[in-house]
Chains A and B, each alone.
Chain A
């Protein structure tokens, strides 16, 4: 659990974080979204004390981070950044093992954990562990960056636009990997992005930050259906908000149970956006829905278009 309690931060004359309070539950995937300069990265960096707060408190499980030894604190928190920051003179395996080595894990445990992470992040082609960062693609480098952040099994991971510099396909595949890992391990993730689609795709809850303050905090659907004000409405995309909503809602929650349809089926846990894509590509306005290989109902175009709460 991470708590921000009336946090203030200014750089010179400029107020970067203005009396901000927020509580992030354990095991939650929380996304801070906002334009450049809104203070979201600074807020993230107050958690591992890369940025000290001017006033207020940041607490982890009730303990003020300012009272902790900075290095010990950071070794317990995963950290991944957009520019990755792999150590160019160290191999992939050595990069991943950075924090376990700082924590003096026994060598065989480090080896086992490194191998586990390589396969968890789909870096398991032969010889990957002994390669140097400059021989990897951008996507592979960021996979190593994420593996390094997760290496010592931290209960909290901070990620500062980690996928911002990647191409869309690579980004989606990494988002899927991260989401799956987070679900399986119950890690608390605080994730910063300026990409609304990424925020809605990943976050259990999303906090929209503007000018150093949180304008609205809620589930993706909360922000889409009930924007707190015009600034939120603008940021979530105006008329495009309905398109974003399709990406957040699942087929299973919106299908007609028990009904039949022709065509190639879509999965119940796919998003409505995937379903719409399948309808467009198959030229049909209704498709069968399957769950664990069994047909359970149908998804209908008219239901996607009609406004249902």
Chain B
């Protein structure tokens, strides 16, 4: 074993040291788990495996000094074990604690768990960089599969997050559906309005600063303020045209929420539509016109197929952004997963907050993956 300190500047060992340091701190200082007598109280710290975890992180640091290829693999394996194993460890500990506790006792993953898990995930991400795509996808999928398989056997049933979910199954499913509906409707409307607007901006040239400027300004309005500002005009609309009110229009609810989300989504859709149209080679456009294509034929059979990948990349960003912003929409009664976050904050029930937050993050990641897949499909065809 040739031990030679890797140079800091090169940066290959630096992420390992930084993340391992974070992991070490997480193993010792903050609580791995918190045990509380009921769901509203903050629990006492419990870190039953501090030595084991610290040992793992020290091993990671040691591996960063090893220059043989095996060191890299051991590190990757360590990180993977952390990603897949930490939740299992937490679940097992929770079960042990609950075996000798009252039925109201809650065991929450503590800051030590979250920090350590994050450090392990980032380390795995770093170690997988440069490997074949199939390896990378395989590693993450295997970790996910291990966690899902374990959860099916009830390995996490002791954790308060899971108990919270079990207690809230029906409202959770409803909120998930509302959230998806908000995001999907917004996305469809953003495409329906944004793409023609983008085409118009592209065709009339850069002189259209007014529209783009207005949309850019709207982006700077804080989401909470925008939702609040829309209450009055939408209430007035519903009052002035009762037919609209019958359709569900009103100062609060889905309509103003979708409208606000749409305002945020329009700028990226317009921008990416313009970029997509710009991506069409000028000579192909010239030839299409010279050969006698009408404007509609040019758009449909040349500009759309050639600009679509760029537009799709934009929609991906819009989807992730909208899923995140839709959390705030629950404040004006539009429902969605944000309800768990704000209800949880109001009750001081952190498990509930976490349940909503994690679900929103997972939803955003799934949407992102979905669009990446779509993008890969269209690019392979081109």
Contact = CB atoms under 8 A, between A and B. Distances in A.
Nearest to B304: A89
Given A87-B302, A88-B284, A102-B297, A72 B292 contact: yes
B287 A84 contact: yes
A188 B287 CA distance: 20
Given A85-B284, A88-B382, A89-B305, 7 more contacts: A71-B293, A71-B294, A74-B289, A75-B292, A83-B286, A87-B288, A88-B284
A73 B291 CA distance: 9
Contacts of A158: 290
Interface residues of A, number: 25
Contact of A88 (B289, B290, B306): B306
Contact of B284 (A48, A72, A76, A87): A87
Interface in B327-369: none
Contact of A99 (B285, B292, B294): B292
A86 B293 contact: no
B281 interface: yes
A85 B382 CA distance: 17
Interface string A209-220: 000000000000
B10 interface: no
Nearest to A87: B284
Central interface residue in B281, B284, B302, by most chain A CB within 10 Å: B284
A189 interface: no
Nearest to A99: B291
Interface in B245-274: none
Nearest to B284: A85
Interface string B294-336: 1001000010011000000000000000000000000000000
A42 to B, nearest CB: 14
B287 A102 contact: no
20 contacts: A48-B290, A50-B289, A74-B291, A75-B292, A79-B291, A81-B286, A81-B287, A84-B283, A85-B283, A85-B287, A87-B306, A88-B382, A89-B305, A89-B306, A89-B382, A99-B291, A99-B292, A102-B292, A148-B287, A149-B291
B290 A79 contact: yes
Contacts of A149: 291
A71 B305 CA distance: 21
Contacts of B284: 85-88
B378 to A, nearest CB: 10
